[in-house]
């Protein structure tokens, strides 16, 4: 087989793979897949750093995937004062939007935070209608375990978060685990400590 024929087959395969992955030729707000990174400090991180969101954004952007990161927050945690600042992501066009809440536990996503350092307004039920996602990347539970909330309570609260997502975003999560709406465990630790390339 000639090199030009191999190249032709490779190009056809690449087009098919892009179509299968939902990559759009033209990307605008109407066609973009809305992705909400949701969770705690692993999602938000702190001043002088960037989370897995940076590297995920870069890989999706480089692939040509049409997407938009959504959420009520931007950047990373700035303390003190409580607030946010731009992340250290090295890519100028990086979309800083997310729904990560530094220091928060699963119950705080559901009912709001009351601990003095982390208390600011908002709950999942308030954020979702404003920034309705097609895909939610949930990372929660680290702070719960660190604060002694227990694995059982944390698992139950995470289940309530999934129920809330299901109730407010019809079709995103048809069940806690199903063929049409699968849940996946992702190693976000490795992604969050990755160095720029």
First to last CA, the chain: 35
**Domain boundaries 26-192, CATH class:** alpha beta
Distances (CA, A) of 102 to 2, 48, 83, 128, 133: 55, 14, 10, 18, 20
Among 69, 102, 75, 70, CA closest to 87 = 75
> Is pLDDT above 70 for 5?
no
Smallest CA-to-CA distance from 120 within 105, 96, 101 is with 101
Instruction: Look up the pTM and report it.
Output: 0.72
Residue-wise pLDDT for 37-47, tens only, equals 999 988 988 88
Q: Sketch the domain layout of the chain as residue ranges.
A: 26-192
How many other CB atoms are there within 10 angstroms of residue 82's CB atom? Answer: 14
Residue 10 has pLDDT above 60, yes or no: no
């Amino acid at each position: 087989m000639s090199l030009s024929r191999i190249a032709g087959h490779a190009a056809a395969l690449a087009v098919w793979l892009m179509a299968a992955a939902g990559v759009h030729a033209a990307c605008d707000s109407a066609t973009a897949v809305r992705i909400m990174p949701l969770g705690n400090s692993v999602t938000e991180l702190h001043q002088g750093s960037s989370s897995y969101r940076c590297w995920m954004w870069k890989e999706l952007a480089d692939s040509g995937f049409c997407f938009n990161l959504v959420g009520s927050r931007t950047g990373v945690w700035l303390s003190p004062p409580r607030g946010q600042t731009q992340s250290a992501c090295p890519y100028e066009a990086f979309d800083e939007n997310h729904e990560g809440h530094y220091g928060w536990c699963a119950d705080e996503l559901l009912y709001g935070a009351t601990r003095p350092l982390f208390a600011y307004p908002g709950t999942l039920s308030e954020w979702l209608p404003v920034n309705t996602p097609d895909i939610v990347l949930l990372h929660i539970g680290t702070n719960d375990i660190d604060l002694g909330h227990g694995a059982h309570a944390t698992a139950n609260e995470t289940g309530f978060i999934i129920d809330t997502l299901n109730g407010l975003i019809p079709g995103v999560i048809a069940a806690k685990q199903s063929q049409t709406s699968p849940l996946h465990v992702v190693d976000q630790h490795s992604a969050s400590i990755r160095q720029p390339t």
